[in-house]
Structure 1
Amino acid sequence: MMEVTPAASEALKAVMAEKNLEPPIRIFLQSGCSGSQLAMGVDQARDGDDTYDVDGISYVIEAKLAEVVGDMKLDYLTDAEQQGFMLSSSKPLPQPESSSCGSCSSCGC
């Protein structure tokens, strides 16, 4: 399941209109020195994707990843500490077992 808050839907529609982008929006797992996080970008649907249509916007995610992360929520934060899109999941995100770069500073993060 994909939940999109009204604030996120409005902000995403504004960004897409400003940058002349067309859905679908792909949800994917992005790994970095501080672990894994959900991210999003414009992409095409592929075989094996789950598709969610919410408030006129299509979202796609690999079916296998959807099983791993569970229910997802897209919100848009506008408080004093954070501003921007926030993707969360109902299950813990998979983390890499080890890093090939001893420390974050050696990765160039």
Structure 2
Amino acid sequence: MFVPIKISEVAIREIKQLLQSKKVPEGYGLRVGVKGGGCSGMSFMLGFDKEKEGDDSFTVEGISVFVEKRHAMYLIGKEIDFHESNEARGFYFKDEKTGEEVK
């Protein structure tokens, strides 16, 4: 199956750690999508959720990933990564080819 988005090794480790430490219930996976539009543009979103009717679902390194079909085209060529420093830590989306963060 075609996987519209990549997940870096660092992000995979952090997602697995969150699934375990937050005791995310069985049957939940990583929901990846977009929201918004209009003048401010689109925002990418992540969260833990159950699979819903009409989702595309796939597995990346043992992590169930759910994407609404209508969001998939906006995720093509993007990668989820994770950054950690003394000032900040968190997930972000980047362009797979350029490595630049996308907002």
Partner of 1:51: 57
Correspondence for 2:23 among 20, 23, 30: 20
> Within 5 Å, which residues of 2 pair with 1:54-93?
54-79=60-85, 82-88=88-94
Q: How many residues align?
A: 90
Paired residue secondary structure (2:16): helix
Paired residue secondary structure (2:19): helix
Contact kept? 2:5, 2:76, Cα under 8 Å: no
* Structure 1 stretches lacking a partner, 5+ long: 91-109
Larger radius of gyration: 1
* Structure 2 stretches lacking a partner, 5+ long: 97-103
For normalisation by structure 1, the TM-score amounts to: 0.67
Partner of 1:3: 6
Contact kept? 1:27, 1:39, Cα under 8 Å: yes
Paired residue secondary structure (2:70): helix
Give the C-alpha shift of residue 47 in structure 1.
2.2
RMSD: 2.4
Paired residue secondary structure (1:46): coil
| Distance of 1:64 and 1:36 partners within structure 2 | 13
Paired residue secondary structure (1:24): strand
| Distance of 1:45 and 1:71 partners within structure 2 | 23
Partner of 2:101: none
Contact kept? 1:38, 1:88, Cα under 8 Å: no
Q: Whose strand fraction is larger, Structure 1's or Structure 2's?
A: 2
| Distance of 2:95 and 2:46 partners within structure 1 | 13
